Structure 1
Amino acid sequence: MSERWARTILSAYRMAGAAVYPLVGGYIAWRSTKGKEEAGRRRERYGFTRIARPRGPLVWMHAASVGETNAVIPLVERIVGYGIGVVMTTGTVTSARVVRERFGDRVIHQYVPLDLKPTVNRFLSHWSPDLAIIAESEIWPMTILELGARRVPQVLVNGRLSDRSFAAWKKRSYLAEALMENLAHVVAQSEEDGARFAALGARPVTVSGNLKVDTDPPQADPEKLAALAKDVAGRPTWAAISTHDGEEEIAADVHLLLKARHAGILTIIVPRHPDRADTLEAMFSAKGLTTARQSRGDRVSPATDILFGDTIGDMGLYLRLTEIAFVGRSLEAEGGQNPIEPAMLDTAVLSGRNVQNFREAYHQLIERGGARLVNDREMLAGAVNFLLNNEGKRREMMAAGRATVDEMRGALAATLRALEPYIQPLIVKARLEDGSGRR
């Protein structure tokens, strides 16, 4: 009965997608006006392309946004190194820029087609991938079903299911099973994630660890870093990064609490969504704080209270200016943000307690002394104050965080082992078709 019900729902989803297909143009156009789509490439969202499919085996790699894209970069590098073509899709303008900057013309970038039957079919008919690799938790019903119908192996890598997503899928377990049965393999981030995918019907499931641990630390423009480091030199600093609504105000209040105790203190605030920058700057000003906005190239003067990191792709820059970082979406929102990057860059990590989406990473960091959790703004102010006053303890946390990250490495090797049955035939095929005369 449940299997029949799942088929009914998926059939209704397919028909609903076909019905709304003629109407989505206005939505994509609206996103383009907001800078969320590249105007000249909107047709890619409908599965159209001007790029010819390359000869030989081709892997479709999908990563939704910047975090997922950065996580799979080493994996893509390996696949390209085997002589296998890669068409990589992402869903955001920023992640598209990351792919372009990292790979150039070694990888074909496309915007991911909308999860509608006409667009997915058009995309798959053109690219005809031999293997589809999906990062983290991108479960799109129509895409999964159409790949399954074409018998294209689908592997989910760096798989993660948040508490909320798992609860939602559990309520519709019959639907989850109907989709999961199309996946050839799930490579999960943690034992808990693996158990969750298995409970939803995925087979087989292996655990690799987090691919983000096997990436390089976020880089920084040398000239920007040198200029800012010179302006900041000698000042006590701390950062609030990947903040969500409400947490920037908490960081500003913490700055005011610390200002009386630490002369010249500079607070670096990096919101997760910089499009709120004007509103946040007004809020800082209303509190009497002087702000330097990175997007405007404002100079950090001795009177600057807040260095406002309202740019994308500069996290490596901001984290290199401090030794203390509060990681947001953990006090005023739920789920948390990834603490791996600050830990990689020798930073003592602080966070609120709502870190469900990165539970395993925080567990290991806390257990080894590289991170601490706080309950509210007062406790956050106290923790930052303590670390500013105690260099020895601060450096212990920094070293513990870096050591924890080093111990967590190995996800790339584990993922490649899981992918070997799917990649090895493509390596052979690529060698036979490389034009070297060995065919």
Structure 2
Amino acid sequence: MKPFSFIYYILSAGLYILALPLLISLSFKKKYQESVPSRFFLFNNPRFKNSNGIWFHVCSLGESRALKPILEKVDKENVKITTITHTGHNEAKKYGVELRYLPYEMFLPFWIRPQRMLIVLEAEFWYMLFAVMSARGGKIVLLNARISDKSVKKYMKMGWFYRRLLGYVDVVFCQSEIDAYRFETLGAKNIEVVGNIKLAQEIKENKEYEKPAGLTIVAASTHEGEEKIVLQGYKEYIKENKAKLVIVPRHPERFESVYRMLLEFCRQNNVELSRFSEDKSLSTQIVLVDMMGELNNIYKISDIAVLGGAFKEDVGGHNPLEPAYFGCRIITGKHFHDQKELFKYVHHVQYIENGELFSALKEAQNLPPSSVDEKIDLDRVIKYIKS
């Protein structure tokens, strides 16, 4: 092990020891009860069975989904996938390949089997992962690589570290020209701009529901604090207009707290509320969708999509391609920095401040549906993977 890698390893081990009480505590929380024991204690998380395969590493749900058009064009017999989050893990199960959680860096020198190629999506930059994989002769590819506007200063301040990390990378397939420039500044080599691979995703519903009469507004992938913004705008809007509101929180562990908030709002405003899990219908004026995997089905029967994740600075927005595909008129906040590349391809979007939802809902009636015109050609990526 090289001196820098050895020092890094010792520091990672020390951090692990310090964090043990927190990790043990998180292991008992529903959100982390599978991922934390697997990643930090190797519980039910053995090494891959075989070597010399193609290993994809992704973080969460969106990146797991983005793999589908690529996996359809490669031989899946020796494909392996690692994930970070529980939702990403569940999505990756659909591919029927060897699947693991990525262990904490301290374990990687003992856990990793040599593979022909490691393909890392977006910004999953783990130093020990790259160093160990490179030392064992595998190619390292960054796919859909990006350095967001929000994080670029951090990368540049830590440039000495990222130059070492990127020195292990064989090729970078990045989302945009500005990403290419940032990677080049950090010392990356063999950089190609291929666009955002999420443009290659097949978007479709998996169930059909009857569209309610009148206007339907979906507040999609909302985070803490965003439901209140939506309810304030909706309250003003229904003083003059009739509309149904469907709320789909991003994280399932928030279903109960959001339900309690909606219950209080509905009592105060004499509005009917229902939970989608109970009767799978949109019969009441406000509906909480407290189930996973239903968002595309809801987009298909909605007129306006208030896309969450962009009304708070710390999230970075969510994928606009899905509501645009189903022709929703999209309203979102101005903090969509992590999805900026995707929003470039979506037309007729309203970007608003937190207090402007009422006026945006009124304006949405006069706008054409949002749409996506662009496609991406994955041939260069597939050719490299197969080489």
1:332 maps to: 312
Q: Which has the higher helix share?
A: 1
Task: State whether residues 220 and 247 of structure 2, in contact with CA within 8 Å, keep that contact through their aligned partners in structure 1.
Answer: yes
Q: Check if 1:16 corresponds to 2:11.
A: yes
Q: Which has the higher contact order (CA 8 A, sep 6+)?
A: 1
Q: Secondary structure at the match of 1:377?
A: coil
Q: Spell out, residue by residue over 1:314-344, the C-alpha distance to the aligned partner (whole angstroms, 9 max, x if none).
A: 2212211202112122223352222112112
Q: Spell out, residue by residue over 1:161-213, the C-alpha distance to the aligned partner (whole angstroms, 9 max, x if none).
A: 11232210100111110111011111101111111111111111111111111
1:386 maps to: 363
User: Which of 74, 78, 89 is 1:85 aligned to?
Assistant: 78
1:219-298 matches, within 5 Å, as 219-220=205-206, 222=207, 225-226=208-209, 229=210, 232-263=211-242, 265-287=243-265, 288=268, 289-297=271-279
CA distance 1:338–1:284, shift in 2 (3 Å): same
Consecutive unaligned residues of structure 2, counting only runs of 5 or more, are: none
1:323 maps to: 303
* Structure 1 CA distance for aligned equivalents of residues 60 and 39 of structure 2: 16
- Name the stretch that deviates more: 280-289 or 237-246: 280-289
CA distance 1:44–1:382, shift in 2 (3 Å): closer
Q: Check if 1:103 corresponds to 2:95.
A: yes
CA distance 1:329–1:217, shift in 2 (3 Å): same
CA distance 1:236–1:179, shift in 2 (3 Å): same
Aligned-pair CA distance for 1:372: 2.2
The aligned amino acid for 2:325 is M
Aligned-pair CA distance for 1:41: 9.5
Q: How big is the alpha-carbon RMSD for the aligned residues of Structure 1 and Structure 2?
A: 2.6
1:306 maps to: 286
The aligned amino acid for 2:160 is Y
The aligned amino acid for 2:58 is A
Q: Spell out, residue by residue over 1:274-318, the C-alpha distance to the aligned partner (whole angstroms, 9 max, x if none).
A: 3222222222233234332234447543xx232212332222122
Task: State whether residues 28 and 37 of structure 1, in contact with CA within 8 Å, keep that contact through their aligned partners in structure 2.
Answer: no
Aligned-pair CA distance for 1:7: 6.3
CA distance 1:79–1:142, shift in 2 (3 Å): same
The percent of aligned pairs where both chains have the same amino acid is: 25
The aligned amino acid for 2:102 is V
Consecutive unaligned residues of structure 1, counting only runs of 5 or more, are: 1-5, 425-439
* Structure 2 CA distance for aligned equivalents of residues 190 and 94 of structure 1: 27
- Name the stretch that deviates more: 14-23 or 309-318: 14-23
Q: Check if 1:374 corresponds to 2:359.
A: no
| TM-score normalised over the length of structure 1 | 0.79
The aligned amino acid for 1:95 is G
1:138 maps to: 124
User: Which of 387, 397, 413 is 2:369 aligned to?
Assistant: 397
Q: List, as ranges, runs of 4+ consecutive aligned residues in structure 1 with deviation greater than 6 Å.
A: none
The aligned amino acid for 1:155 is V
* Structure 1 CA distance for aligned equivalents of residues 83 and 134 of structure 2: 21
* Structure 2 CA distance for aligned equivalents of residues 103 and 88 of structure 1: 9
Task: State whether residues 45 and 101 of structure 2, in contact with CA within 8 Å, keep that contact through their aligned partners in structure 1.
Answer: no
* Structure 2 CA distance for aligned equivalents of residues 50 and 361 of structure 1: 36
The aligned amino acid for 1:310 is D
The aligned amino acid for 1:387 is A
Task: State whether residues 185 and 203 of structure 1, in contact with CA within 8 Å, keep that contact through their aligned partners in structure 2.
Answer: yes
